[in-house]
């Protein structure tokens, strides 16, 4: 999932169930005249949103990075609420109740599917870290440290110079590489031993490997999720130093 996609996904989460209705109305019916206050709020929104976009681009998939935007959305909701007041208080209550019911059902269904995905990716990471010394940067690699802890239990992970627990399984970033073959060749002697590849992950960087694994003789497929009977589609490859 890319940074912008993560931003809008979690933005929807924090606005559901009621705020999203009034925010949309507020954006539509806010006075169009540009004022100094609107410019200030706009700049605040951009700078605060950038921190969330950066976090999602780095793979930190949590809603907390957008909570700082809630005061701005509260103001927008005020415009939407003010617009609805023109149609009578009873209609506002009715629309709010309907919005809560519908959006709650949608949110619950989406969250259930998302939880299933997270469980499946955690299981994949648990297997991967038990086999690998180094892995690629993939969506849901946030579970690597937790998986290392579970695999190493009851021993704790070693501490680094900063006093925090270090990863046993190294993670290798893909930024700066144009092709999967270049990435693999560069990192295979630096500790990269396995790849977990999802279709479309990191803007499709590994899609060619996912669909044309035979073109990469260094890779040995050890797991294909379609054989596990789960919804999440991924493959795990072991990197062999010799063809």
The pLDDT profile of the chain, 243 residues, written as one tens digit per residue, is 577 887 888 887 777 666 777 777 777 877 778 888 888 888 888 988 888 888 877 767 778 888 888 888 888 877 777 777 776 666 666 776 677 677 666 666 655 556 777 888 888 888 888 888 888 888 777 777 778 777 777 776 666 666 566 667 788 888 888 888 899 889 888 889 999 988 777 767 888 888 988 888 889 899 998 888 888 888 999 988 765
Give the per-residue pLDDT at 238.
92
What is the predicted pLDDT for the residue at 162? 60
The 3-state DSSP class for residue 30 equals: coil
Other Cβ atoms less than 10 A from the Cβ of 134: the count is 18
The predicted pLDDT at position 221 comes to 92
Neighbours of 112 (CB within 10 A): 10
Q: Are 186 and 136 in contact (CB under 8 A)?
A: no
∠ CA 56-57-59, nearest 5°, is 65
Distance CA(9)–CA(15), nearest Å, equals 10
DSSP H or E run through 224 = strand 219-224
Residue 170, SS3 per DSSP? strand
Q: Dihedral through CA 212, CA 220, CA 216, CA 139, nearest 10?
A: 70
Angle between helices 70-85 and 89-131 (to 10 degrees): 150
pLDDT score of 110: 59
Element (H, E) at 198: strand 194-198
Strands 219-224 vs 134-136: parallel, antiparallel or unpaired: unpaired
pLDDT for the residue numbered 237: 92
Contact 30, 39 (CB under 8 A): no
pLDDT of residue 13: 75
Radius of gyration of the chain (CA): 23
- pLDDT number for residue 243: 53
CA 240 to chain centre: 30
| Phi, psi dihedrals of residue 127, rounded to the nearest 5° | -65, -45
Q: Which helix (H) or strand (E) holds 238?
A: strand 234-239
């Amino acid at each position: 999932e890319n940074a912008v996609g993560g931003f809008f996904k979690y933005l929807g989460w924090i606005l559901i169930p009621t705020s999203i209705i009034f925010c949309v109305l507020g954006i539509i019916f806010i006075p169009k005249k540009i004022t100094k206050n609107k410019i200030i709020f706009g700049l605040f929104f951009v700078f605060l949103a950038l921190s969330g976009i950066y976090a999602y681009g780095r793979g930190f998939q949590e809603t907390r990075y957008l909570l700082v935007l809630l005061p701005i959305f509260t103001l927008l909701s005020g415009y939407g609420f003010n617009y609805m007041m023109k149609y009578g208080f009873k209609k506002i209550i009715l629309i709010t109740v309907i919005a809560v019911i519908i959006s709650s059902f949608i949110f619950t269904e989406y969250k259930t599917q998302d939880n299933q995905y997270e469980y499946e990716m955690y299981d994949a990471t648990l297997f991967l870290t038990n086999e690998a010394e180094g892995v690629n940067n993939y969506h849901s690699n946030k579970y690597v440290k937790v998986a290392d802890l579970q695999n190493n239990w009851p021993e704790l992970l070693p501490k680094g110079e900063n006093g925090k627990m270090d990863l046993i399984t190294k993670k290798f970033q893909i930024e700066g590489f144009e092709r999967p073959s270049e990435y693999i060749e560069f990192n295979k002697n630096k500790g990269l031993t396995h790849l977990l590849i999802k279709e479309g992950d990191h803007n499709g960087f590994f899609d060619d490997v996912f669909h044309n694994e035979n073109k990469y003789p260094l890779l040995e497929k050890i797991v294909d999720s379609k054989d596990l009977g789960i919804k999440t589609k991924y493959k795990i490859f072991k990197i062999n130093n010799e063809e």
